[in-house]
Amino acid sequence: MPLEASIDVGSNVRAVLESIEQATLRAGRPAGSVRLVAVSKTVSIEAIREAIAAGVTDLGENRVQEAMAKKPDLAGQPVAVHLIGPLQKNKANRAVEIFDGIQTLDDLELAAKLDRACERLGKQMPVLVQLNVGKEPSKSGIMEDQAVAFVQKAAAFRHLSIQGVMAIPPYFENPEEVRPYFALVRRKAEQIGAQGFENVSMRELSMGMSHDFVIAIEEGATLVRIGTAIFGTRA
């Protein structure tokens, strides 16, 4: 849907990138170690182009169909598109064609379908394993105590490159209350990485959104998914 005319996407992107960099340095982490994933669901191509021109290199889309519709207009743009919403198994083939990365792997049958689709296309797909750290029934993701076993099995799919974990913790008005969940994600990634599974690295932690990304960076996020602070509130 169209954005409000008053929203200056370019200025918002620059402000968010500056905030990310400041938070990264305050946390004692190397400059450039945290990437912005601009959440572009329901956002017009015009606004997305403004964001890219202002420095966005990664987009996050929630639905296969919407991303597919945008793909022709993004051809040639210097941007990677990540799936950050749940993926239905019957859309695995299309997802492999469209996305540069999938952040929401949480099912072995889905992993198998993605692997076969990648094999047909001669593609290696970067994936993140989604964790449900809040144990919320309304959210997708592997429960924390099942994560190591899940990754060990998913690592057998040779056309998937497991590069880290993603989480959507419970929402709190006070971002400090989210900190324990971000810390749990980091510890779980460290535990998985320590197993030494082949075809698995835990270099990416995708966590933190517009209201809490500073806390997420302090707890180790390497990818922060930010939509509202860039594109405004959407219905």
Q: Which residue has the tokens 């793909």?
A: 71
Question: What residues form DSSP beta bridges with 160?
Answer: 125
pLDDT at residue number 1:
41
H/E run at residue 196: none
Please report the pLDDT score of residue 235 as a whole number. Answer: 63
How many Cβ atoms sit within 10 Å of the Cβ of residue 142? 23
Give CA–CA dist 45/2, Å, rounded: 9
Q: Phi and psi for 126 in degrees, rounded to 5?
A: -70, 130
User: With 0-12 CB in 10 A as exposed, 13-18 as middle and 19+ as buried, what is 10?
Assistant: middle
Contact 72, 78 (CB under 8 A): no
- Give the residue from 229, 230, 232, 227 showing the smallest Cα distance to 4: 232
153, 118 contact by CB (below 8 A) = no
Residues in the chain: 235
Nearest to 27 by CA among 225, 214, 174: 214
Q: What is the value of pTM for the model shown?
A: 0.94
Q: What is the pLDDT along the chain (235 residues), one digit of tens a residue?
A: 444 457 999 999 999 999 999 999 999 999 999 999 999 999 999 999 999 999 999 999 999 999 999 999 999 999 999 999 999 999 999 999 999 999 999 999 999 999 999 999 999 999 999 999 988 888 999 999 999 999 999 999 999 999 999 999 999 999 999 999 999 999 999 999 999 999 999 999 999 999 999 999 999 999 999 999 999 987 6
How high is the pLDDT of residue 2? 46
Q: Which domains does the chain have, with CATH numbers?
A: 9-231 (3.20.20.10)
